[in-house]
Amino acid sequence: MSLWRALPWLLALLCPMAAQTRPTVAAQLDAKEKQLEDLYADYWRTEYKIALGDEGLSSRPIQDQIRAVVCDDRFLHDLTATHFHDPLPRRRRDLFLEEATYTRITNDPKLTAIVEEITREENAIRYQVGDKQLTRAELSNLVAHSPDRDLRQQAWKARAQITAANGERIRQAIQLRNQLALRYTDGLFSTFMLHRKGVETEKLFEWFEEIRSQTETDYRAMLDQARNALHVDKVEPWDLEFYFSTLTNDFEQKAFVPADGWTKTKQLAASLGYDLDKLPVEMRVADLSFAGAAYPITYGKEVKILANRYTGIFFYDRLLHATGHALHYSMIDEPSFLLRANFAEPFDEGLAQVLALMLYRPEVDTTLFGLTPGQARVVAETYKLKAMFQLRETMADSLFEFEAYADPDQDLTEIYDRIHSQYLGVDMHGAAVWAYNPFYGSDPIYLQSYVVAEMVARQIGHNLDQKFGTRWNKNAGAFLRSQFYSRGAEQTLDGIMRSGTGEPVTARSLVDYFHATSPMEAEASPARGPRGEGRQR
């Protein structure tokens, strides 16, 4: 029989086999995603309990199980070789392969052991200030609110106590992540993680420089205002948070009562048409080693919020931010676990920030918190100054982390202090306070997502203002849900922003926010020209 004559017979034999292979790989992908969904539910429940103080628990066994499910070499080979015609299976395939690389690195047994030690130390530490031992929240409240400058200085410098305990562990974790990244990818861990989070390195640094340069004049003016208001010769790191609190201290503690936090949050959500009593969301307040969190136990079915015991506006800010996450986790409408769970991180943080930023809208503060119009303007303007400081601080935190991953053997305190002095305009005094940021140990290469998230949130907010006015209602809430809160990983970050706002992610709305002249500023300086006159875009 000639080869030509045999071809139909061979195709008859091979095609059914090929047809069977594709559904088999697809079915295996379905099964593995279901396994991951169940395992991650156990993981998040365990992490939630650990955060609440259960020192006897460990998530390492669950991480080992996740690694076994994802790092199945035979399946990964078959999945890589399978060509799906439809875009959705292709997207799921790509997400699973990326998840496998991420899991091989982050769930490495040696690395998870180090990270667990770091986290336990962060949870257990009490900061010694004078004769008192303080939780993280108490230390932060002291720096932000104490009128005793010497005490604020002691509290700020006490942050170095966690660096003494965890600094070398964090350095070891950085070194090990880099080693693992080189084994499973072709670059540094930081480069792989940025790509995974939907952000490219060059674009990120362009955004950082745009925000830094466009806020430089206003930030330096704010430092002068702080120096004059606090009657000091030189603004120190322990003066910055305190300065912002002095602008609202006469009414902040009375209007923003933590005990009313969840009630107020539910009322704010209700104004958008969201009933938190009917959504699968639970909230608790606790002493935490971090600012707060939302735990996506099972997307659409069970979400838990932890709020730290902060006071005043900052308590509400963090609670609303966590609730924004919870809304996203409750409303995601995607057909598979990886499409629900592997969204672009800056997008998720941006959706959390959309709700938090409502706290600084005068129309919200007058109706929800009973502030006078004048008080509401003070809150809005104080937040603008504080947001400018916090963004610059976060960019400095992020740049320090990239420097640390580029060369972990450097003097990390020197790098941290140099970058922060440049971005914040204050002397860091050689203080080894860098490990006070919990992200360096347990959530690496996360911080830049907060900066991009602020851009995302401002872009979404500007779009909603144009469509619905500044008093957002249930129609605005429905739009938010359909265009943003329901979205997961099916589209890229730029894809979602294009479909929802008409353009990809841009820093324009954020920069415009900082340069907009408020009514309060106009009253104070009626003859002043436009802010940022002649600036480049």
How far is Cα 416 from Cα 394, in angstroms, rounded to an integer?
12
Please compute, for residue 311, the number of CA atoms within 13 A of its CA located in the half-sphere on the CB side: 16
Q: Are 311 and 142 in contact (CB under 8 A)?
A: no
Under 8 Å between Cβ of 307 and 283 = yes
pLDDT averaged over consecutive 10-residue blocks of the chain (537 residues)? 41 43 80 97 96 91 95 95 93 96 94 95 95 95 95 98 98 97 93 92 95 95 96 97 88 94 98 98 94 96 96 95 98 96 96 98 97 95 94 98 97 97 96 96 95 98 97 98 97 96 96 73 36 28
pLDDT at 464: 97
Tokens of residue 299, six digits: 């997307």
Whole-Å CA distances, 515 to 212, 217, 414:
13, 10, 33
For residue 435, give every residue at least 6 positions away whose Cβ sits within 8 Å of its Cβ, in sequence order, or none. 162, 163, 165, 166, 167, 170, 441
Q: Alpha helices, DSSP H only, in 358-436?
A: 362-368, 373-406, 412-424
Q: What is the pLDDT of residue 523?
A: 41
Is pTM, for the whole model, over 0.85?
yes
